[in-house]
């Protein structure tokens, strides 16, 4: 159980901070598989040694005895990495926020790059026309 939690945390860290995120998931699964494979290989070698019963019992309690016991921590690392990558992708601060405003929906820029006035937005008065002509003469438009 402790090994599963440890691999899930390592997988979550790799899935969250490794760029690109899907590579972090793959690295977490490969790392967990390598550790579990080395542990299984070491337990097979150790089972042929003399005076091994107590040490084998302790190592089997940590790593497990069957293939299903060895696959559990690898799956925990995969699940932790996938969830961390997905949630990290949703909360990534480097992306610009998507904001839709009412002005963005109603106003459209013309060919000159300026926003057009929509019907009813601004009351047309002579002072507005004078101000626009003054700005256009300053900018040379």
For residue 9, the number of C-alpha atoms closer than 13 Å in the C-beta half-sphere is 6
Bridge partners (DSSP) listed for residue 115: 109
Supply the angle between the helices 53-63 and 21-46 in degrees, to the nearest 10.
Answer: 160
pLDDT tens for the 141 residues of the chain, in order = 778 888 888 888 888 888 788 888 888 889 999 998 998 888 888 888 888 888 888 888 888 888 888 888 888 888 888 888 888 877 776 666 666 666 555 556 666 766 666 666 667 778 888 998 999 999 887
Query: For the whole model, what pTM was predicted?
Result: 0.56
């Amino acid at each position: 159980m402790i090994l599963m939690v440890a691999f899930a945390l390592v997988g979550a860290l790799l899935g969250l901070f490794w760029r690109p995120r899907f590579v972090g998931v793959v690295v977490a699964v490969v790392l967990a598989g390598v550790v579990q494979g080395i542990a299984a290989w070491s337990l097979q070698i150790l089972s042929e040694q003399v005076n091994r019963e107590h040490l084998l019992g302790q190592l089997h309690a940590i790593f497990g005895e069957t293939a299903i016991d060895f696959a559990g921590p690898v799956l925990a690392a995969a699940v932790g990495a996938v969830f961390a990558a997905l949630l990290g992708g949703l909360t990534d601060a480097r992306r610009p926020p998507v904001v839709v405003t009412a002005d963005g929906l109603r106003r459209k820029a013309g060919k000159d790059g300026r926003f057009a006035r929509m019907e009813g937005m601004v009351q047309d008065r002579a002072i507005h026309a004078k101000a626009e002509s003054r700005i256009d003469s300053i900018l040379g438009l």
